[in-house]
Amino acid sequence: MSLTPKLTGRTNQLFPKKPGTTDGVSILIVDDSPVRLQTIAFVLQDMGYKQIQMAANGLEAIERIEQGPTVHIIFTDLQMPECDGLELIEHLGQRQYDGSIIIHSQMEKRIVDLTIELARRQSLYLVGYLDQNLEPSVIQTMMDRALLAARNYNASDLASLSKEMILRAIENKNIVPYFQPKIDNKTESVVGFEVLCRLVHPISKEIITPDRFIDAAERAGLMMLLTLALLEKAALEFNLLCEEFPYLPLTLAINLSPGQLDDDKLPSTFNDLCQICQLPPTRITLEITETDLIEKDTRLKNLARLRMMGFGCSLDDYGMGFTSLAQLEHYPFSEVKLDRSYINNIASDPYAQQLCEKLVDKCTANHMQMVAEGLERADDVEYLSRYHNIHLQGYLYSPPKPYTDIRRWLHNWEAHRSINP
Ligand code: C2E
Ligand code: CA
Ligand code: CA
């Protein structure tokens, strides 16, 4: 049974993007065609971007970048007189440019692929390419991804919790696991949940999302405490779900911060906790973000040890770092999650489609599970229905929810297998 027919009635864009992300974003468009320059600029202005500069070739672009202020996102053509897109990319690599780059070019695909590879080797964030299609929806997708990737732009203006507040939340067991389901795209079965951490504010009692405490907990060296407290509580609730739905072979995924993989004791600590919680490691997947995975021996050793103990290991946010498809097979991952910035609007994004196809092939050849995360739109699910055995996760099915709510959701899903239970 395919998911697609039931989903087509659903309208797109159900969930608004984070507001305010156009503020303070500086964009440079580089193209020798005034018509294309203006077209892209109009679309961006229409989206609310105000700081837009234009350059007719690579040399002019370099001048603008050198003069400052910081350019967060560069749209560049490849074929231009004087200094072309390849030279510009090389220059950006040399000066370790940490914004995002989007190519817009009508060059043949091989040249574009080569450029993408070149940028990756220079650790540049090349986040997509536009061909002749300059539709606002396509540009919007690129901008969302570019903003997520640009390391020189910080959109977060939320106050972080202090070390003391986080510690108090851990001590008072004010940690709430939120579960988000993953669904098999062919069988429609729920295959498991990712647990996402929430804290209850010690004073206001509001539910706090990770953007306000993960960085602070990492800086304060509290991540191990936090993860173990979360896993302990999540394991209890997850076991209840497994008991209630014994015919579903559910798994539980939990996120790790990069520093945690540096700890030699991590595999045995997790193994011990799983025994105490009566949770077999084969039911647990540890998610590690791609951008954090530096080829450090300790990290790879710990990953391998965890796999040997039976844990699943997932490469999270794939596409936001620099792991090439060829490198993937050298890492001991059992799963790869294609980042939501590629999944959102994949139905009309050739760059994302190409990456997805290559990733599916790679995963199939190497017995890795592929997960598409951040699904919000029915047409994207429909696009992905061409693949067998990929797992789907996103608001379209359910946002992360606490135990009682996700239990109710699961009952509804099992009864109707529909996205609108
Ligand atoms: P992540 O691991 O990539 O988790 C997915 C995030 O995307 C979650 O945000 C989830 O609510 C959100 N999401 C899921 N589906 C959709 C969708 O369809 N559209 C959109 N726009 N977003 C979607 P959340 O819960 O705010 O977590 C943010 C990040 O915080 C996580 O990203 C993860 O990196 C980190 N995090 C959360 N819990 C933990 C934890 O226990 N330990 C560590 N180290 N990191 C955590
Ligand atoms: Ca994750
Ligand atoms: Ca992710």
pLDDT tens-digit series, residues 331-360: 899 999 999 999 999 999 999 999 999 999
CATH entry 3.40.50.2300 includes domain 26-147: yes
Torsion of CA 404, 405, 407, 412, to 10 degrees: 150
Per-residue pLDDT of 291-309, as tens digits, reads 666 667 888 899 999 999 9
- Answer yes or no: is pLDDT of 419 > 70: no
Residue ID of nearest Cα to ligand 1 atom 13: 374
pTM of the model: 0.77
Distances (CA, A) of 147 to 48, 73, 141: 14, 8, 10
Structural contact between residues 76 and 103, judged by C-beta atoms closer than 8 angstroms: yes
Query: Which residues have CB atoms below 5 A from the ion given as ligand 2?
Result: 255, 287, 316
Position in ligand 1 atom list of the atom nearest CA 339 = 3
Residue ID of nearest Cα to ligand 1 atom 34: 255
Position in ligand 1 atom list of the atom nearest CA 287 = 2
Residue ID of nearest Cα to ligand 1 atom 19: 374
Mean pLDDT of 211-221: 91
- Answer yes or no: is pLDDT of 96 > 90: no
For residue 8 the two structure tokens come to 């087509």
Gap from CA of 349 to ligand 3 centroid (Å): 19
Is the shortest distance between the CB of 170 and ligand 1 below 6 Å? Answer: no
Is the shortest distance between the CB of 394 and ligand 1 below 6 Å? Answer: yes
Q: Which amino acid is at 76?
A: T
Supply the pLDDT for residue 294: 64
Report the candidate in 76, 119, 74, 73 with the shortest Cα–Cα distance to residue 96. Answer: 119
Is the shortest distance between the CB of 77 and ligand 1 below 6 Å? Answer: no
Q: Highest mean pLDDT: which of 154-168, 190-204, 407-421?
A: 190-204
For residue 15 the two structure tokens come to 């969930």
Q: Where are the domains of the chain?
A: 26-147, 156-419
Gap from CA of 110 to ligand 1 centroid (Å): 34
Gap from CA of 316 to ligand 2 centroid (Å): 6
Is the shortest distance between the CB of 313 and ligand 1 below 6 Å? Answer: no
User: How many other β-carbons are positioned within 10 Å of the β-carbon of residue 120?
Assistant: 15
- Answer yes or no: is pLDDT of 420 > 70: no
Whole-angstrom distance, CA of residue 359 vs CA of residue 18: 28
Per the prediction, the chain carries an average pLDDT of 87
Q: According to CATH, what is the number of the domain 156-419?
A: 3.20.20.450
Mean pLDDT of 380-385: 97
- pLDDT band (50, 70, 90) for residue 159: low
Residue ID of nearest Cα to ligand 1 atom 11: 400
Is the shortest distance between the CB of 374 and ligand 1 below 6 Å? Answer: yes
Per-residue pLDDT of 15-44, as tens digits, reads 223 434 677 889 999 999 999 999 999 999
Supply the pLDDT for residue 8: 28
